[in-house]
Amino acid sequence: MGEVTETVTETPRVRTLVLDVPGWTGHRAGQHVDVRLTAEDGYQAERSYSLASAPGEPPALTVERLDDGELSPYLVDEVVRGDRFELRGPIGGYFVWDHDGSTEPLFLVAGGSGVVPLMAMLRHRRAVGSTVPAKLLYSSRSLDDVIYRDELDRLGAEVVQTLTREQPPGWGGYGRRVDVDMLREVSYPPDESPRVFVCGPTNFVEAVAEGLVALGHRPGRIRTERFGGT
């Protein structure tokens, strides 16, 4: 069981829930939990949510509302401090980045709420004072949809953003979907052996992974997490 101790509105569609989970033994950056909600009539639904916080910090989930979704509108709009729900985890040992002394650069590519587990990695890197070069390429629809907008400047990592639908006047970032040319311009060259993590909607992740392989990145260096959707 997790109890919501704090809620943070990140964007009009996205909210962070900070949790107190008795017996929580900690997590690794990139892991997720399975949240199970039970309705009064006993109906149960379960979804996965990445842990947004750095290891050592209280578990926090950042959830984006899908208007036609079953669970996310409840988690974003209804849950209040003190509410409790079942959760299982932390889960996952593949899509994780540990501060383990290696020096390979970290290249992170996020689509929408796919930034959540990558944020845990960047928060972890900052918290342990890692000097591993790190770059985040982050795709959002518009500036209002950028999650963790203020914190992105304070991560001590290079952050490159693209806004796919709407760019404010004077926008200095990219204004299109992530494509091979963008990946070539932004990613570390393959001969620097970057560790690559890609997360977001399924079609985003597949397009980015294919693009990186086309640029010469070894598939074994590219770790992906698909949040669903098409």
- The distance of closest approach from Cβ of residue 183 to ligand FAD in the complex, given in angstroms and rounded to an integer, is 21
Under rule CB under 6 A, residue 85 binds ligand FAD:
no
Phi, psi of 27 (to 5 degrees): -145, 170
Q: Which of 49, 85, 107, 188 touches ligand FAD (CB under 6 A)?
A: 49
Q: Which of 39, 40, 43, 68 touches ligand FAD (CB under 6 A)?
A: 68
- The distance of closest approach from Cβ of residue 115 to ligand FAD in the complex, given in angstroms and rounded to an integer, is 9
Residue ranges of the alpha helices (H) in the chain? 72-73, 115-127, 180-186, 202-214
Q: Which of 53, 64, 107, 197 touches ligand FAD (CB under 6 A)?
A: 64
Q: Which of 69, 133, 173, 190 touches ligand FAD (CB under 6 A)?
A: 69
Q: How far apart are CA 92 and CA 96, in angstroms?
A: 8
Q: Which of 85, 107, 148, 227 touches ligand FAD (CB under 6 A)?
A: 227
Tokens, residue 103: 């020096």
Virtual torsion, Cα 154, 155, 158, 164, nearest 10 deg: -80
Site for ligand FAD, residues 182 to 201, rule: CB under 6 A = 201
Strand ranges in 73-194 using DSSP code E only, listed in sequence order = 84-91, 106-111, 134-140, 158-163
Per-residue x/- track, 2-41, ligand FAD (CB under 6 A)? ------------------------------x---------
To which H or E segment does residue 50 belong? Answer: strand 44-50
Under rule CB under 6 A, residue 59 binds ligand FAD:
no
List 38's β-bridge partners, or say none: 44
Q: Which stretch binds ligand FAD (CB under 6 A): 47-55, 119-127, 137-145, 153-161?
A: 47-55
The region that residue 42 occupies, defined by phi over 0 for left and psi between -120 and 50 for alpha, beta otherwise, is left
Q: How far apart are CA 196 and CA 107, in angstroms?
A: 5
Under rule CB under 6 A, residue 145 binds ligand FAD:
no
Number of residues that bind ligand FAD (CB under 6 A): 21
Binding-site ranges for ligand FAD (CB under 6 A): 32, 47-50, 62-64, 66, 68-72, 113, 116, 201, 225, 227-229
